[in-house]
Protein backbone atom coordinates (compact mmCIF):
# COMPACT_ATOMS: atom_id res chain seq x y z
CA UNK A 1 0.00 0.00 0.00
CA UNK A 2 1.30 3.45 -0.97
CA UNK A 3 1.50 5.99 1.83
CA UNK A 4 3.59 9.05 2.62
CA UNK A 5 5.33 7.07 5.37
CA UNK A 6 6.26 4.13 3.15
CA UNK A 7 7.35 6.41 0.31
CA UNK A 8 9.64 8.59 2.43
CA UNK A 9 11.01 5.55 4.25
CA UNK A 10 11.93 4.02 0.90
CA UNK A 11 13.70 7.23 -0.13
CA UNK A 12 15.54 7.39 3.20
CA UNK A 13 16.70 3.79 2.99
CA UNK A 14 18.32 4.15 -0.46
CA UNK A 15 21.56 6.17 -0.59
CA UNK A 16 21.09 7.55 -4.10
CA UNK A 17 17.43 8.47 -3.59
CA UNK A 18 18.27 10.13 -0.27
CA UNK A 19 21.16 11.96 -1.95
CA UNK A 20 18.85 13.35 -4.64
CA UNK A 21 16.15 14.31 -2.13
CA UNK A 22 18.54 16.16 0.19
CA UNK A 23 20.38 17.81 -2.71
CA UNK A 24 17.13 19.21 -4.10
CA UNK A 25 16.14 20.43 -0.63
CA UNK A 26 19.58 21.97 0.06
CA UNK A 27 19.63 23.83 -3.25
CA UNK A 28 16.19 25.29 -2.64
CA UNK A 29 17.16 26.43 0.85
CA UNK A 30 20.44 27.92 -0.41
CA UNK A 31 18.56 29.88 -3.06
CA UNK A 32 16.09 31.13 -0.46
CA UNK A 33 18.94 32.17 1.81
CA UNK A 34 20.63 34.16 -0.94
CA UNK A 35 17.37 35.83 -2.01
CA UNK A 36 16.40 36.87 1.51
CA UNK A 37 19.93 38.05 2.22
CA UNK A 38 19.86 40.33 -0.82
CA UNK A 39 16.35 41.56 -0.02
CA UNK A 40 17.39 42.38 3.54
CA UNK A 41 20.15 44.62 2.15
CA UNK A 42 17.81 46.37 -0.29
CA UNK A 43 14.74 46.88 1.94
CA UNK A 44 14.64 50.52 3.06
CA UNK A 45 12.43 49.73 6.09
CA UNK A 46 14.77 49.44 9.12
CA UNK A 47 12.20 47.38 11.04
CA UNK A 48 11.51 44.91 8.23
CA UNK A 49 15.12 44.43 7.10
CA UNK A 50 16.38 42.45 10.14
CA UNK A 51 13.34 40.15 9.95
CA UNK A 52 14.10 39.40 6.32
CA UNK A 53 17.73 38.81 7.27
CA UNK A 54 16.61 36.35 9.95
CA UNK A 55 14.48 34.60 7.33
CA UNK A 56 17.53 34.28 5.10
CA UNK A 57 19.71 33.03 7.95
CA UNK A 58 17.15 30.32 8.68
CA UNK A 59 17.13 29.21 5.03
CA UNK A 60 20.94 29.09 4.99
CA UNK A 61 20.83 26.99 8.16
CA UNK A 62 18.37 24.56 6.57
CA UNK A 63 20.66 24.14 3.57
CA UNK A 64 23.55 23.31 5.91
CA UNK A 65 21.38 20.83 7.77
CA UNK A 66 20.50 18.89 4.61
CA UNK A 67 24.18 18.85 3.62
CA UNK A 68 25.11 17.61 7.10
CA UNK A 69 22.60 14.77 6.80
CA UNK A 70 24.26 13.77 3.53
CA UNK A 71 27.71 14.01 5.11
CA UNK A 72 26.64 11.75 7.95
CA UNK A 73 25.78 9.06 5.39
CA UNK A 74 29.10 9.59 3.58
CA UNK A 75 27.28 11.12 0.61
CA UNK A 76 28.14 14.21 -1.42
CA UNK A 77 25.68 16.65 -2.92
CA UNK A 78 24.78 15.98 -6.52
CA UNK A 79 23.65 18.20 -9.36
CA UNK A 80 19.94 18.92 -9.23
CA UNK A 81 17.98 18.26 -12.45
CA UNK A 82 16.60 21.47 -13.94
CA UNK A 83 13.03 20.15 -13.94
CA UNK A 84 13.14 19.78 -10.14
CA UNK A 85 14.31 23.37 -9.46
CA UNK A 86 11.09 24.77 -7.94
CA UNK A 87 12.51 28.21 -7.15
CA UNK A 88 13.96 28.92 -10.58
CA UNK A 89 10.92 27.57 -12.43
CA UNK A 90 8.75 30.02 -10.49
CA UNK A 91 11.16 32.85 -11.30
CA UNK A 92 11.04 32.06 -15.01
CA UNK A 93 7.27 32.62 -14.81
CA UNK A 94 7.79 36.08 -13.34
CA UNK A 95 6.84 35.03 -9.82
CA UNK A 96 8.69 36.75 -6.99
CA UNK A 97 11.60 39.14 -7.38
CA UNK A 98 13.92 38.17 -10.22
CA UNK A 99 17.54 37.48 -9.38
CA UNK A 100 18.58 40.13 -11.90
CA UNK A 101 16.60 42.68 -9.86
CA UNK A 102 18.15 41.53 -6.61
CA UNK A 103 21.68 41.85 -7.99
CA UNK A 104 21.15 45.56 -8.63
CA UNK A 105 22.07 47.76 -5.71
CA UNK A 106 18.82 49.70 -5.85
CA UNK A 107 16.44 50.02 -2.87
CA UNK A 108 13.27 47.97 -3.19
CA UNK A 109 10.00 49.80 -3.75
CA UNK A 110 6.87 49.16 -1.71
CA UNK A 111 5.53 47.18 -4.68
CA UNK A 112 8.70 45.06 -4.65
CA UNK A 113 8.17 44.36 -0.95
CA UNK A 114 4.58 43.25 -1.63
CA UNK A 115 5.83 40.96 -4.40
CA UNK A 116 8.43 39.45 -2.06
CA UNK A 117 6.02 38.93 0.84
CA UNK A 118 3.23 37.50 -1.35
CA UNK A 119 5.67 35.07 -2.96
CA UNK A 120 6.93 34.06 0.47
CA UNK A 121 3.43 33.71 1.90
CA UNK A 122 2.49 31.21 -0.84
CA UNK A 123 5.73 29.23 -0.92
CA UNK A 124 6.06 29.13 2.87
CA UNK A 125 2.53 27.68 3.05
CA UNK A 126 3.77 24.84 0.88
CA UNK A 127 6.96 24.45 2.89
CA UNK A 128 5.08 24.46 6.20
CA UNK A 129 2.71 21.75 4.97
CA UNK A 130 5.50 19.61 3.58
CA UNK A 131 7.52 19.83 6.78
CA UNK A 132 4.46 18.98 8.86
CA UNK A 133 4.07 15.82 6.78
CA UNK A 134 7.76 14.99 7.22
CA UNK A 135 7.47 15.64 10.95
CA UNK A 136 4.63 13.12 11.17
CA UNK A 137 6.77 10.54 9.40
CA UNK A 138 10.22 11.27 10.86
CA UNK A 139 9.60 13.45 13.92
CA UNK A 140 10.80 10.71 16.28
CA UNK A 141 13.43 9.27 13.95
CA UNK A 142 16.84 8.98 15.68
CA UNK A 143 18.72 10.33 12.63
CA UNK A 144 16.27 12.82 11.12
CA UNK A 145 13.88 13.77 13.90
CA UNK A 146 15.72 16.76 15.36
CA UNK A 147 16.42 18.28 11.95
CA UNK A 148 12.85 17.84 10.75
CA UNK A 149 11.35 19.34 13.91
CA UNK A 150 13.70 22.34 13.78
CA UNK A 151 13.02 23.11 10.12
CA UNK A 152 9.27 22.64 10.58
CA UNK A 153 9.24 25.15 13.44
CA UNK A 154 11.21 27.64 11.36
CA UNK A 155 8.85 27.29 8.39
CA UNK A 156 5.89 27.99 10.66
CA UNK A 157 7.68 31.13 11.87
CA UNK A 158 8.31 32.24 8.29
CA UNK A 159 4.65 31.78 7.42
CA UNK A 160 3.56 33.74 10.49
CA UNK A 161 5.95 36.55 9.52
CA UNK A 162 4.41 36.77 6.03
CA UNK A 163 0.85 36.93 7.38
CA UNK A 164 1.71 39.67 9.86
CA UNK A 165 3.67 41.84 7.42
CA UNK A 166 1.11 41.54 4.62
CA UNK A 167 -1.70 42.45 7.02
CA UNK A 168 0.28 45.48 8.12
CA UNK A 169 0.64 46.60 4.49
CA UNK A 170 -3.04 45.89 3.81
CA UNK A 171 -3.95 48.15 6.76
CA UNK A 172 -1.98 50.92 5.06
CA UNK A 173 -4.03 50.70 1.87
CA UNK A 174 -2.36 48.00 -0.20
CA UNK A 175 -5.06 45.34 0.15
CA UNK A 176 -6.02 45.14 -3.53
CA UNK A 177 -2.42 44.86 -4.74
CA UNK A 178 -1.70 42.20 -2.12
CA UNK A 179 -4.73 40.10 -3.05
CA UNK A 180 -4.01 40.31 -6.78
CA UNK A 181 -0.38 39.32 -6.24
CA UNK A 182 -1.28 36.47 -3.91
CA UNK A 183 -3.79 35.05 -6.37
CA UNK A 184 -1.43 35.22 -9.35
CA UNK A 185 1.36 33.68 -7.28
CA UNK A 186 -0.81 30.85 -5.93
CA UNK A 187 -2.10 29.90 -9.38
CA UNK A 188 1.43 29.71 -10.75
CA UNK A 189 2.69 27.86 -7.66
CA UNK A 190 0.19 25.01 -7.85
CA UNK A 191 1.13 24.35 -11.49
CA UNK A 192 4.82 24.49 -10.65
CA UNK A 193 4.42 22.25 -7.63
CA UNK A 194 2.58 19.69 -9.78
CA UNK A 195 5.26 19.74 -12.49
CA UNK A 196 8.17 19.61 -10.05
CA UNK A 197 6.52 16.82 -8.05
CA UNK A 198 6.07 14.76 -11.22
CA UNK A 199 9.71 15.37 -12.15
CA UNK A 200 11.02 14.45 -8.70
CA UNK A 201 8.95 11.25 -8.64
CA UNK A 202 10.20 10.34 -12.13
CA UNK A 203 13.84 10.77 -11.09
CA UNK A 204 13.29 8.85 -7.86
CA UNK A 205 11.44 6.14 -9.75
CA UNK A 206 14.47 5.60 -11.97
CA UNK A 207 16.81 5.39 -8.99
CA UNK A 208 14.52 3.07 -7.03
CA UNK A 209 13.45 1.05 -10.08
CA UNK A 210 9.78 1.42 -9.40
CA UNK A 211 7.45 -0.69 -11.50
CA UNK A 212 5.39 1.21 -14.05
CA UNK A 213 2.20 0.69 -12.06
CA UNK A 214 3.67 2.30 -8.94
CA UNK A 215 4.97 5.32 -10.85
CA UNK A 216 1.58 5.70 -12.52
CA UNK A 217 -0.22 5.56 -9.17
CA UNK A 218 2.05 8.24 -7.70
CA UNK A 219 1.60 10.45 -10.77
CA UNK A 220 -2.17 10.03 -10.51
CA UNK A 221 -2.01 11.14 -6.88
CA UNK A 222 -0.05 14.27 -7.84
CA UNK A 223 -2.59 15.10 -10.55
CA UNK A 224 -5.41 14.58 -8.04
CA UNK A 225 -3.80 17.09 -5.63
CA UNK A 226 -3.50 19.58 -8.49
CA UNK A 227 -7.15 19.07 -9.45
CA UNK A 228 -8.19 19.81 -5.86
CA UNK A 229 -5.98 22.88 -5.69
CA UNK A 230 -7.11 24.18 -9.06
CA UNK A 231 -10.76 23.72 -8.06
CA UNK A 232 -10.31 26.00 -5.04
CA UNK A 233 -7.70 24.56 -2.72
CA UNK A 234 -5.29 27.27 -3.88
CA UNK A 235 -7.31 29.82 -1.91
CA UNK A 236 -5.76 28.59 1.36
CA UNK A 237 -2.57 30.24 0.10
CA UNK A 238 -4.19 33.65 -0.41
CA UNK A 239 -6.05 34.20 2.85
CA UNK A 240 -4.50 36.33 5.58
CA UNK A 241 -5.07 36.09 9.31
CA UNK A 242 -3.19 37.48 12.26
CA UNK A 243 -0.91 34.64 13.41
CA UNK A 244 -0.68 33.29 16.92
CA UNK A 245 3.11 33.79 16.67
CA UNK A 246 3.48 37.57 16.55
CA UNK A 247 6.86 39.04 15.63
CA UNK A 248 7.98 35.51 14.81
CA UNK A 249 11.21 36.70 13.19
CA UNK A 250 11.86 39.61 15.53
CA UNK A 251 15.02 39.64 17.58
CA UNK A 252 18.17 37.59 17.02
CA UNK A 253 18.03 33.96 15.98
CA UNK A 254 18.17 31.63 19.01
CA UNK A 255 21.63 30.24 19.66
CA UNK A 256 21.97 26.72 18.36
CA UNK A 257 24.94 24.41 17.81
CA UNK A 258 26.27 24.43 14.26
CA UNK A 259 24.53 21.89 11.98
CA UNK A 260 27.64 19.72 11.72
CA UNK A 261 27.65 19.46 15.53
CA UNK A 262 23.96 18.55 15.64
CA UNK A 263 23.65 16.10 12.80
CA UNK A 264 27.11 14.86 11.87
115 pLDDT above the threshold of 90: yes
Confidence at 257, pLDDT banded by 50, 70, 90:
very low
Confidence at 3, pLDDT banded by 50, 70, 90:
confident
CA–CA dist 78, 20 (Å, integer): 7
Sign of the torsion formed by the C-alpha atoms of 100, 104, 40 and 173: negative
CA–CA dist 217, 223 (Å, integer): 10
Measured in degrees and rounded to the nearest 5, phi and psi for residue 98 equal: -65, 150
As a whole number, mean pLDDT of residues 12-18 equals: 97
Q: What does pTM read for this prediction? A: 0.93
Contacts 24+ apart (CB under 8 A), 83-88: 83/195, 83/196, 83/199, 84/24, 84/196, 84/199, 84/200, 84/203, 85/27, 85/28, 85/196, 86/28, 86/192, 86/193, 86/196, 87/28, 87/31, 87/32, 87/35, 88/31
DSSP letter assigned to residue 11: H
CA–CA dist 93, 15 (Å, integer): 33
Confidence at 254, pLDDT banded by 50, 70, 90:
low
Q: What is the pLDDT of residues 19-29, one digit of tens each?
A: 999 999 999 99
Q: What is the pLDDT of residues 150-165, one digit of tens each?
A: 999 999 999 999 999 9
Contacts 24+ apart (CB under 8 A), 90-98: 90/119, 90/123, 90/188, 90/189, 90/192, 93/188, 93/192, 95/119, 95/184, 95/185, 95/188, 95/189, 95/192, 96/35, 96/185, 97/35, 97/39
Measured in degrees and rounded to the nearest 5, phi and psi for residue 250 equal: -80, 150
Neighbours of 48 (CB within 10 A): 21
CA–CA dist 169, 171 (Å, integer): 5
264 pLDDT above the threshold of 50: no
Measured in degrees and rounded to the nearest 5, phi and psi for residue 233 equal: -60, -25
CA–CA dist 14, 171 (Å, integer): 50
CB 263, CB 69: distance < 8 Å:
yes
Amino acid sequence: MLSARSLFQEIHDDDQAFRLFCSIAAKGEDQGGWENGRIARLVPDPVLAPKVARHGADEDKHGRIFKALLHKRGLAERDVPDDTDYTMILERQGIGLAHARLRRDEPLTERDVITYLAHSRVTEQRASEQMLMLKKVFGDHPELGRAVRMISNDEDNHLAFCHEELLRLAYHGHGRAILDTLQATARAEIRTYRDVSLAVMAHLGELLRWPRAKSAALAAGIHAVYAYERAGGWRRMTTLRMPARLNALGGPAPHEPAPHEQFA
